[in-house]
Amino acid sequence: MPEQLFQFLVTGITIGSLYALVGLGFALIYNASDVVNFAQGEFVMLGAMTAIALLNAGLPLLVAAVIATLLTVGVGLLLERFAIEPAAGASVVTTIIITIGAAIFLRGVALLLWGKDFHSLKPFSGDAPIQIGGATVLPQSLWVLGVTVVLVALVRAFFNRTLLGKALLACAFNRTAAQAVGINVKVMLRLAYGLSAGLGALAGILIAPITFSSYEAGVMLGLKGFSAAIVGGIGNPMGAVAGGVLLGVLEALGAGLVSSGYKDAIAFLFVLMVLFFEPTGLFGHKASERV
Amino acid sequence: MPSEISSAPAPPAAGGDRLLEVIGLSSQYGPVRAIHQIDLGVSAGELVAIVGGNGAGKTTLLHTLSGLQPASAGRISFDGQDITRWPPHRIVAAGICQVLEGRQVFAPLTVEDNLRLGGYRQRRDSAWLGQQQERVYTLFPILAERRRQLAGTLSGGQQQMLAIGRALLGRPRLLLLDEPSMGLAPLLVEEIFRVIVELNGRGVTILLVEQNARAALAIAGRGYILETGRIAKTAPAAELLADDDVRRAYLGY
Ligand SMILES: Nc1ncnc2c1ncn2[C@@H]1O[C@H](COP(=O)(O)OP(=O)(O)O)[C@@H](O)[C@H]1O
Ligand SMILES: [Mg+2]
């Protein structure tokens, strides 16, 4: 039984890492603009699907992954420039609806490009399971974990150690003051969208060998990432990471101990409970929290 | 050590000697007219005060100058350039730095980070930034002591010092101060005003906005009286202090 629990934990942390990266993307954009970007899940889908297409076209995995990430960053920047920026000054709700529209549009484009079929990426280092402490771990899980740890550390260092990162935070804390010291908030917004898109794409590429991907894959992932961000206290980047891992683990435990049919329901029930008892999330609100 | 704190050269403005020249400036919030047909000028080296009651339009005027609020009519020229429609980050880069009403420091960041962000537009000139930061710490030793402390944990007076320090790191050729005395105990107000005079003495051109008319006019060379969004009167500060109408309305005696 403890071995089984350990197995669930490994599965949960793997999928939770993915939610963490998607949640981090939500938090970045929320911080910069108070907007929840519902196209975040589509970044994940685009990263995965583009990487798969490029790999099938004969490119090596690493090259395909890099190009897919850069292309998705490009899509994020285009979204910001041509859908978000023209609506500057519109209400937050309006902007959120724009992101929902963008998500539907991106899904449509993916449907046209790749059809309704499910696609899969071959694992980065084979699929021979590794035995760790009685649990079976896929090499791809280690990739997911390792890259997530590195990405989260990089994002942390970006906020804690670079002036650009602090400028982005400053926009979240006090936009007027940020403008008054000469920070170009438009540039910061583009940066947030570009970063979020890149994180989303990498998450999609990492997970593509484990779960199948299709034009619709972003919908559920987006919701889970959004949940992670809410659980963590939306706008708190490291809270979103913790929220994602927590969500993944709960899901895996629920699927393993109760029934896999309930895993999404368990995740969303958990989010509702967090919102009910701790409306600002488990890890506090953006302005009161250092990353 | 003259003009050390700014160390931004203030060459003579093209087309007249006004560093800042404002003509017919208006601004509104939707249909609400906040400032109307403002004419105003500041020459390099001056300390000019704008006084007026609550809601007179002082903050709106400063925000319009720094690009935080769009002008609906009129023209702002700085150093001979028309900056009326420039975005705020470009105006800061040109040398107009604003200390916002109510300090508005970045509370969850450290004192040092606040100052570094103040120097955001000068970020490529790290040598100058390092020197300027030391000058700010010399000017406000308490900030040096608390440089690793979060700005939100500072007292009101210390936050005001930090807000001024942050603006000084923007390399101001014109410093806009919005009610620096607001909410401070008299002793602290004295301290802040002493610093303002000192900065001006070192060559920083200052436009000071205040409800505390007596204190502001006491240190300013010239003053403007702002009433319901219009300039009601302008004169040397000493004349305004002696003016019967001004005394009745703003000085309370
Ligand atoms: N954001 C805003 N929206 C609508 N009206 C505003 C806003 N800010 C200020 N006002 C109005 O503009 C006028 C001038 O305000 P303000 O510039 O803040 O004056 P002061 O700084 O002299 O107290 C006031 O009548 C005020 O109610
Ligand atoms: Mg005001």
Residues 6+ apart with CB under 8 A from A246: A16, A228, A231, A282
> What is the ipTM for the molecules in this complex?
0.92
Q: Does B89 touch chain A (CB under 8 A)?
A: yes
Instruction: Say which CATH number the domain at B212 has.
Output: 3.40.50.300
Q: Measured between CB atoms, does A182 come within 8 Å of chain B?
A: yes
Query: What pTM, to 2 d.p., does this model score?
Result: 0.89
Ligand 2 center–CA A207 separation, angstroms: 53
Report yes or no: A174 at the B interface, CB cutoff 8 Å.
yes
How many angstroms separate the alpha carbon of residue B101 from the centre of ligand 1? Answer: 12
Any domain includes B7 = yes
Task: Average the pLDDT over B224-251 and give the result.
Answer: 93
- The predicted-structure confidence for B34-86, as pLDDT tens digits, reads as follows 999 999 999 999 999 999 999 999 999 999 999 999 999 999 999 999 999 99
pLDDT of amino acid A288: 40
Residue A159: CB atoms within 10 Å: 18
Instruction: Check if A94 contacts B (Cβ < 8 Å).
Output: no
Residue B233 lies in a domain: yes
Query: Ligand 1 pocket: which residues have CB below 6 Å?
Result: B 29, 32, 34, 52, 54-60
- Other beta carbons within 10 angstroms of residue B197's beta carbon come to 14
Q: Note whether residue B127 is domain-resident.
A: no
Q: Is residue B219 part of a domain?
A: yes
Report the amino acid identity of residue A119.
H
Q: List chain A residues with CB under 8 Å of B120.
A: 163, 167, 181-183
Class of domain A2-277: mainly alpha
Read off the DSSP letter of residue A260: G
With an 8 Å Cβ cutoff, is B125 touching chain A?
Answer: no
Domain that includes residue B216, residue range: 1-85+206-247
Residue B126 in domain: no
Q: Quick check: A165 and A158 in contact, CB under 8 A?
A: yes
User: Per-residue pLDDT for chain A (291 aa), expressed as one digit of tens each?
Assistant: 677 888 899 999 999 999 999 999 999 999 888 889 999 999 999 999 999 999 999 999 999 999 999 999 999 999 999 999 998 888 889 999 999 999 999 999 999 999 998 988 889 988 888 888 778 889 999 999 999 999 999 999 999 999 999 999 999 899 999 999 999 999 999 999 999 999 999 999 999 998 888 999 999 999 999 999 999 888 888 999 999 999 999 999 988 888 888 888 888 888 888 888 888 888 765 444 444
B209 Cα–ligand 2 center, Å: 8
* A183 → closest Cβ in B97, B104, B120: B120
Atom of ligand 1 nearest to the CA of B63: 17
Judge: A173–B106 Cβ closer than 8 Å, yes or no.
yes
Q: Has residue B4 got a pLDDT over 60?
A: no
Contacts 24+ apart (CB under 8 A), A64-72: A65/A202, A65/A205, A68/A201, A68/A205, A69/A198, A69/A201, A69/A202, A69/A205, A71/A46, A71/A201, A72/A43, A72/A46, A72/A47, A72/A197, A72/A198, A72/A200, A72/A201, A72/A204
CB atoms A288 and B104 under 8 Å: no
Contact (CB<8Å) B106/A170? yes
Buried b (16+ CB within 10 A) or exposed e, A187-203: ebbbbbbbbbbbbbbbb
Residue B200 in any domain: the answer is no
CA of B97 to the centre of ligand 2 (A): 16
**pLDDT greater than 60 at residue B9:** no
Q: Give the number of whichever ligand sits closest to the CA of residue B179.
A: 2
Using the Cβ of A166 and the Cβ atoms of chain B, whether some distance falls under 8 Å is answered with: yes
Amino acid identity of B58?
K
CA A195 to chain centre: 11
Chain B nearest C-alpha distance from A175 (Å): 10
Please write the tens of the pLDDT for every residue from B118-167: 999 999 999 999 999 999 999 999 999 999 999 999 999 999 999 999 99
Residue B80: in which H helix or E strand, if any? none
What type of residue is B43?
S
> pLDDT category, B99, cuts 50, 70, 90?
very high
Q: Where are the domains of chain A?
A: 2-277
Nearest atom in ligand 1 to the alpha carbon of residue B54 is 23
State the closest ligand 1 atom to the C-alpha of B178, by its place in the atom list counted from 1.
Answer: 21
CA distance A219 to A103: 9
Give me the DSSP letters along B120-139.
Answer: GGGTT-HHHHHHHHHHHHHH
* Other beta carbons less than 10 A from residue B125's beta carbon: 13
SS3 A12: helix
Supply A174's token pair: 């006090």
Q: Which residues on B lie below 8 Å from A178 (Cβ)?
A: 117
Name the domain count of chain B: 1
Percent of chain B with pLDDT over 90: 89
SS (H, E, C) A108-171: HHHHHHHCCCCECCCCECECCCEEECCEEECHHHHHHHHHHHHHHHHHHHHHHHCHHHHHHHHH
Closest-CA residue of A relative to B89 is A182
- Determine whether the interchain pair A184/B100 forms a contact, defined as Cβ–Cβ distance below 8 Å: no
Residue B252 lies in a domain: no
Rounded CA-CA distance A270/A282 in Å is: 12
- DSSP code for B11: P
